[in-house]
Amino acid sequence: MRPAGTLPQVTPIRRILTDLPVSTDPYADARTALEPLRDRIHPGARIAVTAGSRGIHDLVPVVKAAVDWLRDAGAEPFVTPAMGSHGGATADGQREMLEGLGITPQTIGAAIEATMETVVIGTLPDGTEVHHDALAAKADGVLLVNRIKPHTDFHGPIESGIAKILAIGLGNHRGAASLHAGGIPALGANIEAAARMIVAQGKIIGGLAILENSREQTASVEFLEADGIAEAAENALLQRASSLLGRLPFDQLDVLVVDELGKDKSGAGMDTNVIGRCWVHGIPEFESPSIAAISVHSLSPASHGNASGLGLADVIPARLLEQIDLHASYVNALTSGAGGARRSRLPMVMEDDEAAVLAAVTMCGRRHWSELRLARIRDTLSPNELLVTPALLSEAAERFDLEITGTARDLTSAGQLGPWSEK
């Protein structure tokens, strides 16, 4: 059955953002941030530099800066994936994910060494085993590199950042599964405790924390001392990152059309802080934004078929099914425990993009489509540029923080989503 109806036209708008902090040279900033370490690097020391699976804007130059700086300081750096169960929970799969993000031996100037093997560092009071990547454990030191931002599953003093890439990313499949097994409400505290336990082993030399502004640009690169990981120093960086997070400019939508989801966009495929949906047992839902129905239309190539988080959507076009690797998706979903339960469900499947949007509109509860509050975004990393229906356009025209950037056009053409730019 193909839903009936004619979709309103949409017009491009953009949020006006001023005075955003921006790093003009993330490579240089990363090298400068590492200078406090210089006297602590021993000649010939093998140092593992982490690289995760997220779509961090300047991940390549920051990782390369870390590698180059460590080599200049006399160390022998190598890069190791730190992404838990991603990449199908295989070393080759994680290498492929890094390659998809632009991290190769050629681009960063160092070998990439990967394994799924871990060593058990200890056990938390609730019985959770703390695992650590075997290659990192054998190294003389570990430099953690990650973006700090609010987590998609829980909120607390430490969320997504340096402690998480240490406890879960370098925990590989076993460590990630172990920490998630106690449920999402306990995850934040367990990440903190596990990170502190690993730091106490003495191999962690610190972390390079990347903060991004609401345009996905690097705002700053900060060095976090090892004794600041999972402590007040990391919390302070989280507070700064939270203030910079990009969000939708509307608190209430009938339909949100998302061109693409993926693991390079968010751990949940779509950033829950942006769409206002958490859908994890035991975790309170967001007060805003409130979105009645969400359609998602493709899976990013960098996800390598991992469609974890697709269950946050209500409807998809049939072609998206062809992009899904169920094994990779379900390994990730099962590893995340309660975080994968509702989010791994399959949304309603329609024949094409237009039918998917029509279905979402039909389900949103808006009787008169002339009043439809529909917005389209490329992904949840890009919530500041939208295509909106007339009901939202009239609101945008009265706001000082939004500008209209083009003319009205059809949302779909020949059953597919239309282009963003005018021809």
Query: Do 288 and 376 lie in a common domain?
Result: yes
CATH number at residue 232: 3.40.50.11440
**Is the pLDDT score of 68 beyond 80?**
yes
Q: Of the ranges 161-175, 247-261, 279-293, which one carries the lowest mean pLDDT score? A: 279-293
Query: Do 234 and 253 lie in a common domain?
Result: no
Per-residue pLDDT of 24-60, as tens digits, reads: 999 999 999 999 999 999 999 999 999 987 778 899 9
Query: Do 330 and 258 lie in a common domain?
Result: yes
Residue tagged 């690169």 (tokens): 221
Q: Which residues touch 7 (CB under 8 Å, ≥6 apart)?
A: 354, 357, 358, 361, 369, 374, 410, 411, 412
Alpha-carbon separation of residue 287 from 140, 273, 276, 357 (angstroms): 46, 10, 7, 24
Query: Do 373 and 226 lie in a common domain?
Result: no
Query: Do 254 and 211 lie in a common domain?
Result: no
DSSP secondary structure of 165-187: HHHTGGGHHHHHHHHHTT-GGGH
Closest to 331 in 3D by CA, of 349, 307, 353: 307
pLDDT of residue 323: 96
Instruction: State the average pLDDT over residues 237-266.
Output: 93
Q: How much is the mean pLDDT over the chain?
A: 93
Instruction: State the average pLDDT over residues 231-253.
Output: 93
Q: Choose the final residue of a domain: 244, 265, 298.
A: 244
Cis peptide before 36 (omega within 30 of 0): no
pLDDT of residue 267: 81
Is residue 4 assigned to a domain? no
Is residue 47 assigned to a domain? yes
Is residue 422 assigned to a domain? no
Structurally, the chain folds into a number of domains equal to: 2
Instruction: State the average pLDDT over residues 77-85.
Output: 93
Query: Do 287 and 323 lie in a common domain?
Result: yes
Q: Of the ranges 21-30, 152-161, 289-298, 304-313, which one carries the lowest mean pLDDT score? A: 152-161
Is residue 91 assigned to a domain? yes
**Is the pLDDT score of 62 beyond 70?**
yes
Query: Do 326 and 221 lie in a common domain?
Result: no
pTM for the model stands at 0.79
24 exposed, middle or buried (CB, 10 Å; 0-12, 13-18, 19+)?
exposed
For 267-302, b where at least 16 C-beta lie within 10 A, e where not — what string?
bbbbbbbbbbbbbbeebeeeeebebbbbbbbbbbeb
The DSSP symbol for 151 reads -
More confident residue, 78 or 288: 78
Residues 68 and 307 sit within 8 Å (Cβ to Cβ): no
pLDDT of residue 423: 61
Is residue 423 assigned to a domain? no
Per-residue pLDDT of 150-197, as tens digits, reads: 888 878 899 889 999 999 999 999 999 899 888 888 888 999 999 999
Residues 51 and 145 sit within 8 Å (Cβ to Cβ): yes
| High-pLDDT (> 70) share of the chain, % | 100
Query: Do 208 and 321 lie in a common domain?
Result: no
Q: Choose the final residue of a domain: 211, 244, 277.
A: 244
Is residue 84 assigned to a domain? yes
Query: Do 179 and 256 lie in a common domain?
Result: no
Per-residue pLDDT of 325-356, as tens digits, reads: 998 899 888 877 777 778 889 999 999 999 99
Residues 386 and 375 sit within 8 Å (Cβ to Cβ): yes
Which residues span the domain enclosing 262? 9-17+247-417
pLDDT of residue 164: 95
Q: Choose the final residue of a domain: 222, 244, 266.
A: 244
Which tokens hold the place of 115? Answer: 């394994």
Residues 315 and 364 sit within 8 Å (Cβ to Cβ): no
